[in-house]
């Protein structure tokens, strides 16, 4: 079974709590606090698994939770960090936020990506000892790990896409020009999932070709195999539009091209505008068919597309097709890599219901909420960039607006879990 679109839930581990502890050795006078810090929660890490081209592994397992960090221990011992949870995905997987649909990451390179960061470990009570508070009986709790609902969407990494009606010979073609071995039979919808093949052009060079099944008139509206597989030609730099030029099945290649072009345009105007080479397959049987070759060639020329006659059955002109495709690719831009649309600010603001409470005490506005407590664990108040990020999150989450509604004006003091600053709109 081919699976290329799944929703999963991921949650990083929580940070361990700090320890409240005091030294009590027999020969150590006034030992003082020695509580250790909690360990960091495990991250959720995405990693590319080369050689896979389906999300089938996520069909039954949709929930991924990393290990929590251990709590701190006595004698200033640090709690163990939670183990990272590594999730393997095929190359070309797009990771989207399930609620907004924004792209978080395009897994098209080989670098692992931290999807959810583990919570920070809390400080032990030894950090809170001062000359005037020598016996702190409290420690800091660990912060919660990030959690998300994301959609994994597979868009294959192929330079060239074979498009066309069922049974025009796409599978036979890719099996002859590459090492791919798709199922081949003389009936429609033989191919039920995309096939990838690496086509060699000599001297260690080549390109990746994808056979895209299921395109018929109405595919973009869900007919046939629907438009599910159209996403796999999104990245293709060049389309090989395969048509049955023999006419033995009563098909008109001009009509076929127009219908497939219309389906591509309905799905994506950008996709429909990609360069195309018309591959007239079954050329060895033209004489036995009914196709008006002169009208066909005139139509292709008017469309401004290159045309080549081939026979996947006997190998006619296949070497020429490979050379033509390689030459065309040299003049085209590289594969599309989608830029992230999901910002750090989006990640910092939890989805769904979040409680933010504001109270005024002795002229100071105290802002509280579980999500803000966790946010403070990600902010370095000594760093300008970190503070700028913190300010943007407060603005985007509506906290600034809430403060104004409570009567907070320029110059008033705002306190968020011990961090105080002057309010400036």
User: How do residues 126-163 score in pLDDT, each as one tens digit?
Assistant: 999 888 888 899 998 898 899 999 999 988 788 898 88
Q: Which residue has the higher pLDDT, 367 or 229?
A: 367
Which positions ≥6 away from 330 have C-beta within 8 Å?
none
Identify the pLDDT of residue 228.
64
Mean pLDDT of 65-74: 96
pLDDT in tens, 343-355: 888 888 877 778 8
Given a cut of 80, whether residue 179 has pLDDT beyond it is: no
Calculate mean pLDDT across residues 302-323: 92
> What are 353-365's pLDDT values in tens digits?
788 999 998 889 9
pLDDT at site 367: 94
Given this model, what pLDDT does residue 52 score?
A: 78
pLDDT for residue 1: 45
Query: Per-residue pLDDT averaged across 285-306, rounded?
Result: 85
- Residue 241 CB: number of other CB atoms within 10 A? 24
pLDDT beyond 80 at 101: yes
Residues in the chain: 425
Name the band, by pLDDT with cuts 50, 70 and 90, for residue 190.
Answer: very low
What is the overall mean pLDDT for the chain?
85
The model's pLDDT over 383-415, given as tens digits with 9 standing for 90+, comes to 888 889 999 999 999 999 999 999 999 889 999
pLDDT value of residue 303: 92
- Whether residue 167 has pLDDT greater than 50: yes
Instruction: Pick 82 or 167 by higher pLDDT.
Output: 82
Non-local (6+) Cβ contacts of 317 within 8 A are: 283, 308, 309, 310, 311
Taking each helix axis from N to C end, the angle separating 170-177 and 318-330, rounded to the nearest 10 degrees, works out to 80
In this prediction, residue 124 carries a pLDDT of: 94
Structure tokens at 338: 């989608």
- The reply to whether the predicted model has a pTM over 0.85 is no
Give 185's pLDDT tier (boundaries 50, 70, 90). very low
pLDDT at 413: 93
pLDDT tens digits, residue range 221-254?
Answer: 555 444 566 777 788 899 999 998 887 777 889 9
Least confident range from 3-17, 172-186, 247-261: namely 172-186
| Cα–Cα distance measured from residue 301 to residue 321, given in angstroms and rounded to the nearest whole number | 18
Q: For residue 201, is pLDDT > 60?
A: yes
- Give the pLDDT confidence of 18-66 residue by residue, as tens digits: 999 998 877 776 778 999 999 999 999 999 988 777 888 898 899 999 9
Q: All domains of the chain, ordered by start, with CATH?
A: 1-154 (2.70.210.12), 160-330 (3.40.50.300), 353-422 (3.30.300.350)
Percent of the chain with pLDDT over 70: 91
Place of tokens 């397959």: 281
- More confidently predicted of 193 and 312: 312
Give the pLDDT band of residue 276 (cuts 50, 70, 90): very high
Distance CA 388, CA 385 (A): 5
């Amino acid at each position: 079974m081919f699976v290329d679109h799944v929703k999963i839930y991921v949650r990083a581990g929580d940070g361990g709590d700090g320890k409240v502890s005091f030294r009590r050795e027999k020969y150590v006078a006034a030992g003082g606090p020695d509580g250790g810090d909690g360990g960091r929660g495990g991250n959720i890490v995405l990693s590319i698994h080369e050689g896979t081209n389906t999300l089938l592994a996520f069909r039954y397992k949709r929930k991924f939770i990393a290990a929590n960090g251990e709590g701190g221990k006595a004698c200033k011992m640090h709690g163990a960090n939670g183990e990272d949870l590594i999730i393997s995905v095929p190359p070309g997987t797009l990771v989207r936020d399930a609620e907004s649909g924004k792209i978080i990451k395009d897994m098209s390179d080989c670098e692992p990506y931290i999807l959810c960061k583990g919570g920070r470990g809390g400080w032990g009570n030894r950090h809170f000892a001062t000359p005037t508070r020598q016996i702190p009986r409290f420690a800091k709790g660990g912060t919660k790990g990030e959690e998300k609902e994301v959609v994994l969407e597979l868009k294959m990494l192929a330079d060239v896409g074979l498009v066309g009606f069922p049974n025009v010979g796409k599978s036979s073609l890719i099996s002859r020009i590459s090492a791919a071995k798709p199922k081949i039979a003389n009936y429609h919808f033989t191919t039920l999932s995309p096939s990838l093949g690496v086509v060699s052009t000599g001297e260690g060079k080549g390109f990746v070709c994808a056979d895209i099944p299921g395109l018929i008139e109405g595919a973009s509206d869900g007919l046939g195999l629907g438009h599910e597989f159209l996403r796999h030609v999104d990245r293709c730099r060049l389309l090989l539009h395969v048509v049955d030029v023999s006419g033995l099945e009563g098909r008109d290649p001009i009509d076929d091209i127009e219908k497939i072009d219309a389906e591509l345009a309905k799905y994506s105007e950008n996709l429909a505008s990609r360069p195309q080479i018309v591959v007239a397959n079954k050329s060895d049987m033209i004489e036995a068919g009914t196709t008006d070759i002169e009208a066909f060639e005139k139509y292709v020329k008017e469309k401004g597309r290159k045309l080549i006659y081939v026979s996947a059955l006997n190998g006619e002109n296949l070497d020429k097709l490979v050379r033509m495709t390689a030459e065309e690719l040299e003049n085209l831009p590289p594969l599309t890599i989608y830029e992230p649309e999901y910002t750090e600010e989006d990640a910092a603001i939890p989805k769904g219901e979040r409680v933010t409470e504001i109270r005024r005490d002795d002229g100071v506005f105290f802002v509280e909420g579980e999500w803000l407590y966790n946010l403070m664990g990600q902010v370095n108040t000594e760093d300008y960039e970190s503070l700028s990020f913190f300010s943007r999150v407060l603005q985007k989450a509506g906290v600034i607006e809430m403060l104004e509604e409570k009567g907070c004006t320029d110059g008033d003091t705002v306190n968020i879990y011990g961090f105080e600053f002057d309010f400036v709109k």
